[in-house]
Every structure is written in structure tokens, then in C-alpha cells.
Chain A
Amino acid sequence: MGSMFRSEEVALVQLFLPTSAAYTCVSQLGELGLVEFRDLNASVSAFQRRFVGDVRRCEELEKTFTFLQEEVWRAGLALHPPEGRLLAPPPRDLLRIQEETDRLARELRDVRGNQQSLRAQLHQLQLHSAVLGRGHRLPLAATPTDGLLERTPLLQPPGGPHQDLRVNFVAGAVEPAKAAALERLLWRACRGFLIASFRETEQPLEDPVTGEPATWMTFLISYWGEQIGQKIRKITDCFHCHVFPFVEQEDGRLGTLQQLQQQSQELQEVLGETERFLSQVLGRVQRLLPPWRVQIHKMKAVYLVLNQCSVSATHKCLIAEGWCAASDLPALQQVLQDSSSEAGVSAVVHRIPCRDMPPTLIRTNRFTASFQGIVDAYGVGRYQEVNPAPYTIITFPFLFAVMFGDVGHGLLMFLFALAMVLAENRPAVKTAQNEIWRTFFGGRYLLLLMGLFSVYTGFIYNECFSRATTIFPSGWSVAAMATQSGWSDAFLAEHPLLTLDPAVSGVFLGPYPFGIDPVWSLAVNHLSFLNSFKMKMSVILGVTHMTFGVVLGVFNHVHFGQWHRLLLETLPELTFLLGLFGYLVFLVVYKWLFIAAAAPAPSILIHFINMFLFSRSPTNPLLFPGQEVVQSALVVVALAAVPVLLLGTPLFLRWQHRRRSPRPAGRQLDEDKSGILDSSDASVAGWGSDEEKAGCPGDQEEAEFVLSEVLMHQAIHTIEFCLGCISNTASYLRLWALSLAHAQLSEVLWAMVMREGLRMGRELGVAAVVLVPIFAAFAVLTVAILLVMEGLSAFLHALRLHWVEFQNKFYLGSGYKLSPFTFAEEED
């Protein structure tokens, strides 16, 4: 948990990897995920790097893998992810894997090719028989054509020269989509010197390539003349038709048909054999491919990292640079030693000083991960900046619960989250792919706390599904009021509303021990009482939250050694915030504690407005003696803090700059020396400096000091803070609004659904029957509207309060995450 407070120390390290052991070292580092490598060859293009050949070979292999995978998928088989941990294979294994893969791919291609050609043959045969089969039914189907053909020779003898004129046939099959175009083209090109008949095949045939069933159009063209025949053949060629010899005699056709059927039977047997062999090969692929894929993927990743290393002058080792957490350095050293022990020369790691801002590393566990996630979604913290996440663990669920206060709803949410937490180790829950479910599951601990806190605030508000509970006896006694005031029957009949007077002895026995007195749920001024309470509560919570934010800034200033900001920024900020809004909180609390219920109540609002106007209203009694003097003093002090905030830091920096500038060379030397001697100190001091904030990161000393830039920046900050104090305080009123909305909505749901149902049946049987659907409706609406919808909106507002109102007081969030080189996520 110590590391949650601010990000861990991250060091720039240089790794000297002996050439022979570099591969094993990097692959070991990939398994552990310790180092984020920096690209030392950014100026070198991808194909001029050292290991480009190996990367290319891996890619080559992956190409083959893709081919194998597609084949497996095409056969309708699935590839299962490999079990267990697979290390990146040693480089010499690449050859073996490559060979085996190539052999498998070749076999598969051969078998697939055989299968394809067999299928194509079969398809051809089937089409042929479809064409012929259709043809021999032609005499029945198309008698007129047939009749004409038979009659032609009878008519011809008179015209002797035409004796040799005979009808020729072209028969074939074409894809149905092209049939119409083919028919038209035939007609146009041959000017009608032909008769063509088209018909669809009865059974769909399997397409040899895709394997999908498709119907074909068979056609039979009869024509006269050789030239036309040539044209027809060219046209059928261009439409990719299958053309088959067509025997004119019917018995000849029958014979061919039988022959075809026999052939196709034989072919089918061969095809079956081929497919069996194919499935064997595919089975082998299925078994071998997944582990190979993972291995080669890792190998490629390792080579890509090696490509980022530079080569030492002697070519004996590779030099890599990267970010590594300081606490991981011993582990890193150990890994490097272990994995380079074979090579004889040990790999070495050492820290080097650097001026760049290191990446942010905050280790989380499954509990803190979701809270850190909330903070990171706003912005990853700068290196070693105070991390708001640990406080968010409590404040976030609490602010949520303030808006969601209801014992019943909170309990439901808590139980739901508890179920997820208890089931978190079940594989089915873990691997669920549903995105909405994963969102909920990821935030299960957040939900757990949110539910728990809602139960707490529900008790404070005394609401359980909008009903009040009487755990303790109420502090108000109606009986006492009735006996003391002597209400007559007539008085009671005339006045539907009666007032309980706390001044009457015995009516108000003292405050309710915990939360809101249940008697309020019966009162008609319930809402105005709660409004006043919740509004004040929101302001108190808001001012406290923001003050806490400002105080957290102190830790940043102290850590980065910017003591002047402590005095010139944090102090005026606190003065401004507490002098104005802290005083408001004081007034609220004072009024609660010391103004008796019976006395005329002073209005805090009027007092607060008068405070700024330096005036007083005679009708509004003072809360305490000397209030006006205190108020005036506070306003003056708070306003005096503004110029300090505005000008303090820029003027201080200018003074500091002036003091330094006469001897820049000497300082430069100092700086360098200290950088080498104690890199961590020098680097830490660097990142918080204001010059960087003013827009010149990196070379902080050399950067010329531009007063206007710093002034501008500080002016923006000042305006943002002062206006922010007002608007952010107002913004916290959303706590009041949302909790009110939630209470009212659940009240309405109870009154309109449940109460109606309970009122409906007086007899036991009717009530039981009616209440089933009524309760179902109540339950569904409660979950859908009150839990999910209201929960989401309360979540959203709590998120906003944290991101905008809280974090802008101290959190910059301009860093970037440490993303170490690791195989973990590449595996899936």
C-alpha cells in the first residue's frame, strides 16, 4: 500500500547484453515484464535494422500459420489456445518449426489441391449428367422443336443442295446469373440462327471451390452452319460455360449417362479417401499450430525489441535502454545473470542519469485496481506526484452513497457485488466475454464499497425502500402534545394538520440517537426539513473535500522541494478557501449546535451575503457577538490572499532567476556533477519545476525565464482557483439534488405501485393473488430505475466530483504509464 501514495521510483537503466545471450535475456525479461525498452534506433527505418532478417522469417512463418489456420477454419474445426506456459523458443528451433510448418503446409496444399481437382471433376461429371439427363427428356418437354427437327429432312429433298444441312448441338451449363446475358448475346451475335433452351438443374450442385450448393443453368443450343458454331463456342468460352459433347441419338446419350454415373461413383470413393487423409492432416495442424503460434509470436516480439538496441563499438554486445522500477533492479540483475550464464559473459545492468520524465508506475492489486482505474481515466499522474487513488477508495463510495442513500437499495447492490467477489475465481465468470458484464465485474470491489456505504447513509437518512424504520423510539411525542395543548374534538376535526411545538414540555425529548428521526416521514414539512439538512451537508462535505485536495498539494510541493509554493500558493489558497467557505461551514455547524429550536433562527444565507457587502440587516439576529468584525476581517484576509497567489510565485521565480544568472557556467557544472553523483535526487528536483509547467520541459536550467509566460500561467491558475472555489462549492450541491431525486423517486415508486397493491385486497386470498404481479413490477422497476439508472447517474456525478472538484486542486495527471515489455497480453 505504501506504493499507492505516489508512483514508484523508476530508473533509466542501460543493459549490456552479450550478443550470444541477448536473445535469451530479452525473452526472459518478456516473461517477467520488468522493463520498458526505449527505441535507440528511431532514426533507422524498419528494414535497415539489425534483426530484420529474423523478423522477416517470423513473419514468413506467420503467413504460413495464417494459411493453416484458414484451412482449419474452413474445415469447420476450432483451434484451442495452448495450455501451460510456453517460452519463446531458442533461435535454432525456428528452423525446425519452419521446416515442420512448411511440410505441413505443403501436405495440406497437396491434399487440398487433390481434393479440389477431384471435386472439380465430380462437379464436371455431375453437370454433364445434368445436361444429358435434361436432354433426354427434351422430346417430351419441347415437342414443337422436336417436331420441327423431325420434319425438316422431310421437307428438304426438293431443295437438293441443302441436303447436307444438318442441325448441330452445343450443350453445356452456365451460372444462372449470366444466363440471361448469354442468351441475349447469342441472339444478337448469331442473328437468331439458333434455338437455345435454358433450364435450371433440379438439384443444387456443390461448388468445387466454396463447397456451397448452387444451381446451374443447363442449356442446349441447336444451330445450323459452322461459322455460327464457332461464334457460339467463342461466346460460351467468354462466359466461362462448361460445354459438353452432346450425342444426338438418345440411346447413345443414355449410355454416356450410365458411364458418367459410374465414373462419378468411383470419383466419390476416391474423394472420400482424400477427405479422410485431409482430416488427419488437419488434426495434426490443430494440435501443433496453437503452441507454435504463441512461440513464434514471442520470438518476433523479442526480435523487435532487439531491433531497438544499439550495437556496442566492439560488436560484442548489444546495448539496450529502458525504464525499470528501482525496486525491481535486483530482480532484473538476477534475471540477466541467470539467462546469460551459459554465454560465459554476464549481462550487466546499471542505472544512468536522465533528464526525461520517467513513466509512472503504481502497482495495484485486484482491490485497488478499479479505484486506480478511475483516477487513470482522468489522466495518468506525473512521475511521483501524489496519487489520489488511496483517498478515492473511501471518498468515492461515500460521495456516491450520499446520493444513493437507501438501506434496501444499498443492500441489494452490496449483495450483488459480494456475489461477484465470492465467485471471482471461477473460470466461467473470469472468461465471460460480455462487455457490460466485464465492466461490472471489473468494478466489483468498487460496487461492494458503494453498496456498503449506501447502507450506512440509508440509515442516516432513515430510508429503506423509501420507508422509515423505527430502530430507536422517536424523539417527538404526539401524546404529550395532545394532553398538554388540550386539543378539542372540534379542533381536531377542523384542522387536518397539527403542529408539534417543541417548546411544550415533554413533546421534544431530545435528538434521535442516529440519523433522521422517523417521525419526519409522517410530517408534511418532511421535504423542507430534509432539504435544509442535505443542502448544508453538501456544502460541508464539499468544502472539506476541497480543503483536503489543497492540503494534498502540500505533499507535492514538499516532495519536489518547491518550498516557495508552500508559502506562495498553498497558504493563500487555504486562506481564501477557509476564510470564505470554511467560515460558511462554521456558521452552519454553529447554528446547529448553539441556536435553540425555540428561539428565532438567524438566516445564514443573509449573513453570508452581507459578509461580502460589508453590511447588516437589522431583522437578522447575530449568531454570536462580534460576528461582524470577524466577518469583515475574514473577507479582507481572503481577498488579500488573491494577489499573493497571483504574483507570489512569478516574482519569486524571477528573483531566483536573477540571482542565478550572473554565474550560469558554474551552476551548470554543479548541476552536472550532482546529476552524476546522485542521479535520483537531481532528477526528482527537475520534474516539479515551474519552468516546465510554463511550457519548456526538459532542459530546465537552460530554458530562458519568460516572466510573461509564468505570469500568464499563474493568472490562469489563480482565476481558476478563486472562481473554482465558488463554482465548485455550488457544484457539490449536486449531492443534495441527487439524493433528493433518489429519495423522491423511490417514494413515488412505493406510493404508486406497492401501496396501491397493498390497498387493493383486504381479504387474504385476493391480496395474495394481486400482490404477486404488483411485487414483480415493483421489483423490476426498483432494479431497473432505482438501482441501475439512478446508480449510474450517481456514479457519474461522484466521478465528476472527484475529477473536477477534487483533483484539480492538486493533481496534474500529465504523466504516462510504464508499459513494460511483456508477453502476458500478447498471448491472447
Chain B
Amino acid sequence: MPAVSKGDGMRGLAVFISDIRNCKSKEAEIKRINKELANIRSKFKGDKALDGYSKKKYVCKLLFIFLLGHDIDFGHMEAVNLLSSNKYTEKQIGYLFISVLVNSNSELIRLINNAIKNDLSSRNPTFMCLALHCIANVGSREMAEAFASEIPRILVAGDTMDSVKQSAALCLLRLYKTSPDLVLMGEWTSRVVHLLNDQHMGVVTAAISLITCLSQKNPDEFKTCVSLAVSRLSRIVSSASTDLQDYTYYFVPAPWLSCKLLRLLQCYPPPEDGAVKGRLVECLETILNKAQEPPKSKKVQHSNAKNAILFEAIALIIHYDSEPNLLVRACNQLGQFLQHRETNLRYLALESMCTLASSEFSHEAVKTHIETVINALKTERDVSVRQRAADLLYAMCDRSNAKQIVAEMLSYLETADYSIREEMVLKVAILAEKYAVDYSWYVDTILNLIRIAGDYVSEEVWYRVIQIVINRDDVQGYAAKTVFEALQAPACHENMVKVGGYILGEFGNLIAGDPRSSPLVQFNLLHSKFHLCSVPTRALLLSAYIKFINLFPETKATIQEVLRCDSQIRNSDVELQQRAVEYLKLSSIASTDVLATVLEEMPPFPERESSILAKLKKKKGPGAVSVTEMEDGKREGGELNGGGDRGPDASAMAASNASTPSPSADLLGIRPAAPVSAAPASVGSLLVDVFSEAGPAASSAAVNDEGFLSSAPPSEDPAPPLSEADELLNKFVCKNNGVLFENQLLQIGIKSEYRQNLGRMYLFYGNKTSVQFASFTTTVSYPGELQSQLNVQSKPVEPLVEGGAQIQQVLNIECLTDFSEAPLLNIKFRYGGALQNLTLKLPVTINKFFQPTEMASQDFFQRWKQLSQPQQEAQKIFKANNSMDTEVLKAKLLGLGMALLDNVDPNPENYVCAGVIQTKGQQVGCLLRLEPNAQAQMYRLTLRCSKDSVSRRLCELLAEQF
């Protein structure tokens, strides 16, 4: 309510409000409101015109009723009338009503905009302010459209009052936030920046909010503000607390403005100009110095204001990350706060230190506070502060203090809050892996982790232990011994049983020499846990048992006995039953040699980014784990795993199991035939059957035959690609085998298989004539930049092809990185003396290197959301070229090489696929969604890939397929 003079007090309104407040029940209130509404209606309807005062009063009442939660569907007109009043109070109530009850009635909007325009062009600053406030409060697109050009003019005009400038800046900020496309700065930019030099502190404060927002979008245009901001800051910082009068808050000069200036500076890199930089460093030093001074007041506001500036300054120092001196000072200052009485300060200090720890200059300085942080972790009462302390410990960890920190985190884990346990577990697992010098320590730590917080140990953590144990020969014996001991505890966590089962199954022989851990003892120990475990664990244990049979033939009888018992061989769970039956048969039929081959020790896992780190990143969201850390992790991880450069396909199965969260975690790799295993490798399966309509390709080529024969110039240069080459290429997007080309002379068949980033293609050149082809040569060439993207090695073919004979050529293909063009195959031969020159596109498309990925609906959509940047998505809506039969579509999608995911999309009509493109350098995750519309015979195809060029290419390729 405005401060009203005595004559302006609205008695009717006061009475009405007190009536409402005195109502005993809701019903009574509604009755009173209905009565009042009827009264207002009759007043507004009345023939005699109302005076401004009563209009204002009734509009006020309506507003009050609206704010009580009742619908108001009239009175807008009266409110708009108030806008044109010359009295401040009436105008103000009018604007208030308009901003609260925005109406989309176009007629009214026009009137309102008119009134606002009048007020903006008036010379009365209060009216201008009211209009600006109304625009900002409504902030709708219509408002922005109407006034976006007007407001900057008011903002920079020389004769505008300070208070109006202030309002205009904030109003512009609001419009910019709601519809940035309508606010075009351009010519105003420099003048807006110069507002930083304004005499009036309020204007500067308002303008700086605007400039910060604008400069975040287009930093270059506002670059000049840096030096202005620095000089302004230095003036404030160096001023005495009495200099700024109104803008001094509890002896701190202009704290809000200082904070905003510091925040603006954080949008830019350190100033290049030496003088400016020197001045800024001086400022920051002064701020840090001031923090050391004794407080001028005991009031909490004083210290709050001071600390706010200090924290912003520290944030700026961290942002610049170039002044070792300042960084260390900031760190020391924060160190003082770590033990401060105020919980908020402790929290902020821990948070800032987290970022400080990642800077190379201050990392050591942060480390000196380790004791305090550990203490905070243990004794702090506030859970959020404890969480920050844990974060900081994680951030400050390096090789020198890893053991201490991991030990502390482990001991804290026992009492940690449930909400942060999972994250803590991941952190401990990562730190233990990253800084492990001694692998027995690593194994101990992780087993301890599982023991303490088994429930919070995610799959990734124990996958990782196993990967590491398998890749490191030196730790295997120790790991086996340790898990054996750990399993002896009467109650141990299921994850422990999983690790135990796996490790003993692989390396149980390393400890079998000790009579205390003889094979039978090991087996009995594992089997004693069997009944307490869930189905996936039991499945894993069964695999461990069959491995035992291989490792220790003496246990064969016992284990067969176990497998034979009804609870295994007739288990209601299909998976378990199948395993039991198969293992039993395997063990009884196969000779020891076969067993030894089948159940060979797992090959080492290929090197890749730690899956745990990936999980933590996912958990924290992007940006939480700094880039340096990631690189660090990679480096360390590489070292840790011995940098194995091994054949990619050797352990493809196991690796994909370990790295992607698969439903049944079967690391032994003896998984019963997965529904979609290696689709590209399958030969002569459903794919070929479905696509046996290879005929059209060949025949269409044949039609063109004569033209080809006559038009192809008999030159030595490779002929340009056939006009239908693209079409031919498209035929092979979803299949690997078939007839690539056929004319009267020559037929080219193709058979190819792909695995990860490698592929092998067999080309069959068939001579259809009875005359031999002479000097038959083939060359593969790379158009454009394909040379660096794809590597195709071909063995030379025999130069003579007898009539009716067929020769074979093998091409080895390696995908280096993603590519969009197809390599060209040029074929030259002499037929009856005439040179034949023919160029085809080799059907090698990016999708051939897909590795299918199974995932659940939840995972799928989570990843889908993660790939939400516009360039990562490619979408196409196109008409169906072929039949929309479900089976055909499915087969095509499977042939594409991605995993077709069932029960993922809420609409069963839609198809959803996931896969990873394996190239030598990187992996590109791809998600596909195909939405058929049977009525319109249309499809909508959406692809999201972590690499944008891939999405586009795939989209182009696929659009031709359906």
C-alpha cells in the first residue's frame, strides 16, 4: 500500500478488509465477497460516472479479492482508466492492478500500451518509473515487442533522472531475460557500458546487473566494461567507509555494488592491459587485507557484507587462476574461516576451497588444511557442510595424502548420512584407484568399502575391482587371499560375494596350495553364501563353480553333485536352470582340454575411461568434475592398468559387459546367446532373408548397362562414380552381404563383417562372359578428407579373370574417426581389348561400426536427455518409400547395427535403438528414435549422438532406408 496522505485513505477498503478478516468461516468470507462484488458491479454499471477516488477504491477491492484467490473477470477497463489519471495514487493503483491481473484481451493490451507510452514520454519521473515497473512486472512478450526499443533510449538519454535510469536498466534486464531476441543493443552498447561511470551509485548498481547479463551472452561487445569496472571497484575499495554516505552499509562501502562488479569481472579473462591488471590486483589485495582488519562493528550485518565481498573476490581470484600469491592468500583466508563459528561461513569456505584445490598454484596451500577438513567431516553438525568437506577432501587428494584421505573417508562412511553415502563410495573407489601405488592396498580398500557400505556400492565399483585385478598379474594372488578371508565373515554383503565368486573362480588356484584354503574349502565357503544371494549373483556363482571344475579337477564330483541337485537343475529361474544344465553337461562331456580352453582365464580388459568416474560425472552433472581431473584420471588409469594395447575383439564381450550397465553382470563372458549379440557379424541370418530383394539393385544396374558400356571413356583415369552409386550404397546401409553391382560383363558380390572399429570385406568379382578379363586391377580411393578418417587395405587381385570364373578380394577396413563419405572402388580391366573403367562406392558407412548397446528405458531417456544440445540432434520427417511392416522395419533397424530396444518408448509403435560407434580414436554413442505414422505413411526419425556430424550423417543415411 502506498503511503497515503490523510485525505486519500480509503475507508471503504479498510472496512471491507477488516470484515473479511473477521469472518468466522470460509462460507462467511465467500458471502461477504459475493456481496462486495455485486456492489462493485452495480457501481461500475451505474450510469453516473465514478470519480477517480471511488474507482481507485473499487479497483483496490477487486485486487484484494483476487489476491484472496477468487476469480476477477471485470474491472480491467476501470483500472486502465486509472492509468490516465494525473494523481499519483490513482495511477499507481491502476498499474498495480494491471501488473497483477494481466489480461490477454488484445483491445485492453492496446489501451494499456498506449497509457504506458504516454507515461514514458511524459517528463514526470515518478510516472515514468511507474510505467517502467509495470513493463518489468508484466514482462510479457507483447510488452517486450512494444517497448524493447524505447527503453534503451530512456536509459542512455542524457536528461533522464537517475531514478528513472535505475528503473529503466532493471526493466531492460527483465525484458532481455524473457525475450532476448527482441532486445537489440547494438548502438546503445557503449553508452550502456559508460553508465558504470555514472555519478549515482544506484544507477551503477542497476546498470551492472544489466551489463553482467548482457556480457554473458556476447562478451566481446562489452569488453570495454572491464577497465571501467576495475576503476570503479578500486575507487570503492579504496574509499573510506564514510565517503559513500548513503551507500555505506554497516561501515562497508557499497557492498552490493562491489559484489556485482566482482561478478562482472568473472565473466572475462584477466585484463591484458598491465595497468588495469595491476590496479585490479591491488584491489583484490586490499580486499584480502581488509578481511584481516579488526571488525568495525560487532553487528552481523557488517561481517556479512564484508565477507560477501571477500568471497566474490576469492571467486574472481580462482577464476583468473594466474596469481599464485593471491591464490595462496585466499586459501589462507579461507583456512581461517574453516574454524569460524558461523556455519554458513564454514560451508562457503569449504566450497571455495574445493575450486581452489584444482588450481595448481594453491593445491599445496589447500592441502595444509587437511586436518581441519577431516575434523569438519567428523564433527560438523550440519550435513551440507559435511558434504562439502567430503567434496573438498576428494578435491585435495593426491598421491601424497591419498592413503590418509581414503582411510578417513572410509571411517567416516560408517557414520555418514545415507543421502551422501553412494557418492562417498564412488569417491573412495575413484581415489583408491587413481592414487593406488600398491595394489594390495587398493584391493584392501575396495573390499573394506564393500564391507562397510555394501548397499551403496554400485555395480561399476565392483566391476572396476575385477577389471583391475584381472589386468594386474601381481595383485591376483593377494586379491584371492583377501577375498577368501573377507568371505569368511559370517555375514557379508552380496557385492562381496560377487567379487569373491569372480576372483576365486579366476584365481582360486593361486591360494589353493594352503591347506586352509584348499579348493574344497573355497568351494564350500562360496556355496555357503549361495542361498542368501539374488539370482544374478547365483548365476555368477554357478559360473565360478564351473571354473572351479577347470581349476581343480578334484572338486568336479562335488560341484557336479551341487549342479545336479533339483534346486539348480530345476530352478524356476530360466537363467539359473540353463546354466546349471549346460555347465553340468559341459563338465561331464567335455574333455579336460576342451574345458581348459572354454574356461580359460579371462583376457585382460581393454583400456578405457574408468566407468566409475563416468558414473560420478553423471551423478554430479556436467561441470562438477573439472577437466583437469578427468585428464588426470585417464592418465593415472592408463598407468594403473599397464596401458595394455590389446586386440580389441579378444574381450569385446567381457568389456562391454563391464563398461555398460548390463542387466546380468556376467563377467565370465559365458553368457547364453544374447538376443542381439553381434548383429553385423551374423551371416545369412534373418537379415539376408529379409533383404534378399537384392535383385532390384542388380537389375536396375543392368538396365543402365548399355549406356555405361558406350559412355564410359576408355581412359586410364578412374571413371567418375556411377550415377546410381549412391543408390547402391543405400542398399547396403542395413545389410552386409549381397550383390553390389551387375552388368552384362561383371558381377560384384560383397560379403562383409565388422567388429568394433575394424571390418573385413570380401569382394567377389564374377566374369559373366566366356572371355577372360585382362589386366584386371582394383584401387580404392578416398574422396575428400576421408583419407584421414578411414583406412582400407586391399590385397591386389590377380590380373586375369577367366571367363565364367570368380575371383575374391579381401579388404581390411579400419575406422579411424567418424566419416561421411564412402570410399570409391575403381575397377579397370580389358575386355576384348577395350578398356573398361568403372567406379563404385564401397558400401562402408559409419553405421557399420556400431556396437549394439542394450539399456533399460530409464537409462535410455536419461542419456537421451543428456544429448540435448541442438547440434547433437538430427531429425528428419520423410515419406515411407517401402512398406511399413513391423518385421521389416525391425530387421532393418537390427541390420543397422544398433540394439533395438523393446519396452523403452511409451508408444509401442515407435522404435528405439542404441549403439556405440567404435572408431579408433573415440566412441560415439548414438540413440535413435523412429516414429512411424501409418496413416500418413510418414516417419519421423530422430538421432542423437555425442558427435554432431555423426547424427547428421546417420540421419541422411537412414532417411533413405525406410
- Are A and B subunits of one complex? no
Binding site for B on A (CB under 8 A): none
